[in-house]
Structure 1
Amino acid sequence: MTDLLPLDPGVLPAGIRSRFVPGINGLRMHLLEAGHETPGRPAVLLLHGFPELAYSWRKVMVPLAAAGYHVIAPDQRGYGRTTGWDPDYDGDLAQFRFLNLLRDVLGLTFALGHRSVAAVVGHDFGASVAALAALARPDYFRSLVLMSAPFAGAPSIPFATADRGAAPVAAGPDIHAALAALPRPRKHYQWYYSGREADPDMWRAPQGVHAFLRAYYHFKSADWAGNRPFRLAGWTAAELAKMPTYYIMDRDEGMAATVAREMPTPAEIAACGWLTEAELAVYSGEYARTGFQGGLQWYRCRTSGRFDAELEVFSGKTIDIPSAFVAGRSDWGIYQKPGAIEEMREQVCSRMLGCHLVEGAGHWVQQEQAGEVTRLLLDFLGRGGG
């Protein structure tokens, strides 16, 4: 599929170009960039999440470039027009482990001629890659902004165990069995996304990919009136079940059926200024071609725990570069792992310059409230971030 062309300039704001860079860790990487006309600018790297694309950053790229930055937003491994990754559920999962995803973006910025990156900004699952960048190469990635997904630290190596004897640590309760045993049986979306059925359920959704994504984006945005998040008391089935069904799904339903129930009306779609039908068509066109399995492989790497051991080399390590956190006030993502936002703010990020909850935004904060997110990013960069 190396014959893919750049995105049509007609779908991009003026000042953003679409291009490919081959030979990046086995990939031909597609990226959007702004501020590329002037060599020597400091780089800002923008990393998208699921189910998103480099295109998700279109509303903040030009203002950042106008402030003097070379703004780089790649389609990450498994997404969009980046090719060279294995789309097979039974293929090589190791290529999607997080250290390799970091290698992808490090290789890309090296190829573009940057000896450092002023700020790495990650949204949703992109925040995991951005946080790992800050842990592994703080000399290269000079500041960090996490969006919508708090980072509570690397997997931990057991500590002070030498004198406890050889007794194994007792396993905790099975959260999946507990969710399934609720009066309304439920399941966790990340483990659903890790299963074989998730990609065909969404890619071949009865309503079509375009309508599926419209409902999915609506359901997790501030436009859906039910998004009024609050802190959960703990990682228990009863507490997790307080979240909407896009996170804690009904046990016997897939995601296509889950979001179809919340499909916005034609009037609501017409009123959605942050994601017009033409803009949504860019997403649906890409996912109709690729399917979702590439992004779903990231979930499998996380839920399987298969690659945790290599991340344990960062156990107990703090993020000591200037950092900030931005999320929509209507985003349940900040509370889906109880205690994570507090751990990030109070223990993991030693130079946290601010945690911001943006009014009028749900999970897609940089699209729903692009102006305020741009202001926060520029303020952060001006105060020492980058």
Structure 2
Amino acid sequence: MDEQTITLRTNDGINLHVYRWAPDDQPKAAVQVHHGLAEHAGRYRRLAEALTAAGYLVYAPDQRASGRSAAGDYGNWGPDGWAGWVDDYALLNARIRADNPQLDVALIGHSMGSFGAQQYLLEHSAEVASVVLIGTGDVVDLVPLLTAEGPADLSAFNASFEHRTGFEWLSRDEAEVDKYVADEASGWSAPLPADLKSLLHAAEPAALEGIREDLPILLLSGDRDPVGGDLGEGVERTAARYREAGLRDVIVKLYPEARHEVLNEINRDEVTADVVDFLDRTVGYPQQ
């Protein structure tokens, strides 16, 4: 796997730092990966190794307020706030397609990255060939929690788990939780932008009708993930909205006992294989 970085200038003047991971041979498709809140794209290098080994070209930004793009000021959303977070998906997608006009582009979003993807798709579904939403859920449940006054308080997500670090809700793998806690670019807290409430549009039937009906969507979650609701109820509601809007290829897979970061769970090899299989079916051409 060849690793490079590029920088994109956002519409409101932020330097967005992007990893570009390339396979050794000619790629069969490109994959755009967006991380979640209070983390960064470097945590997805293991996923990129699996995707490049399967023949995919991967782009993953440190999103605004996060990682190297934050320049040490974690949680600074910039002048455009949440709208900027969503606009950055289109900015990167345009760069990927300009650099690789022969390739289809798949979109993967985890957690807050998946919620950004839900809103992005309302107007940009023609720009991607398939979508994977990981650690996702129902925006109707999430937005009131995250738009309360003060910094985003995620501690409630740990209420039903043992309290060793406060982040046990992320994974059953203690080593992965400890890596997250030790990472200064992860786990920060900050007020979220006021315009995050616009994410509620992603639950409106009229808005969802703008998504093209032939777009394949895979939703992956642990059934103990508090973001997805009790036994994945929020994930299922989100999938049902897509189906009701006419989308014909919407799949939900819930992993028993798994928590929020299924890509860092004890069954992560299974999850990664499911992602690769879905990409091979929807955008890739498996080697014969």
Indicate the TM-score class for this superposition, using the shorter chain for normalisation.
0.7 to 0.9
1:329 aligns with 2:223: yes
| Residues 62-211 of structure 1: pairs in structure 2 closer than 5 A | 62-83=49-70, 92-94=79-81, 96-97=83-84, 99-110=86-97, 112-114=99-101, 117-150=104-137, 190-191=143-144, 193-194=146-147, 197-198=150-151
Name the aligned partner's letter for residue 280 of structure 2. G
Name the aligned partner's letter for residue 60 of structure 2. A
Give ranges in structure 1 of 5+ residues lacking alignment: 1-14, 156-187, 206-212, 224-270
| Residues 1-386 of structure 1: pairs in structure 2 closer than 5 A | 15=1, 17=3, 19-25=5-11, 26-35=13-22, 38=25, 41-83=28-70, 92-94=79-81, 96-97=83-84, 99-110=86-97, 112-114=99-101, 117-150=104-137, 190-191=143-144, 193-194=146-147, 197-198=150-151, 215-221=165-171, 223=172, 272-273=174-175, 275=176, 277-278=178-179, 280-281=181-182, 284-287=183-186, 291-293=188-190, 296-297=192-193, 300-303=194-197, 305=198, 314=207, 316-320=209-213, 321-335=215-229, 340-341=237-238, 343-344=240-241, 346-348=243-245, 350-368=247-265, 369-385=267-283
Measure, in 2, the Cα distance between the counterparts of 1:278 and 1:98: 26
Q: TM-score, normalised by structure 1?
A: 0.57
The match for 1:268 is none
Say which structure, 1 or 2, has more relative contact order (CA 8 Å, 6+ apart): 1
8 Å CA contact 1:323–1:349 kept in 2: the answer is no
Distance apart, 1:35 and its partner CA: 1.9
Does the C-alpha gap of structure 1 residues 29 and 363 become closer, same or farther in structure 2, counting only changes over 3 Å? same
Greater CA drift, 337-346 or 64-73: 337-346
Of all paired residues, the percent bearing the same amino acid is 21
8 Å CA contact 1:131–1:151 kept in 2: the answer is no
Distance apart, 1:218 and its partner CA: 0.9
Alpha-carbon RMSD across the aligned residues, in angstroms, is 4.0
Q: TM-score, normalised by structure 2?
A: 0.73
Measure, in 2, the Cα distance between the counterparts of 1:95 and 1:86: 16
The DSSP-based 3-state class of the residue aligned with 1:33 is strand
Measure, in 2, the Cα distance between the counterparts of 1:306 and 1:358: 26
| CA offset digits 1:149-204 (Å, max 9, x no partner) | 2467xx9xxxxxxxxxxxxxxxxxxxxxxxxxxxxxxxx885464355317x89xx
Distance apart, 1:272 and its partner CA: 1.6
Give ranges in structure 2 of 5+ residues lacking alignment: 156-162
Greater CA drift, 19-28 or 355-364: 19-28
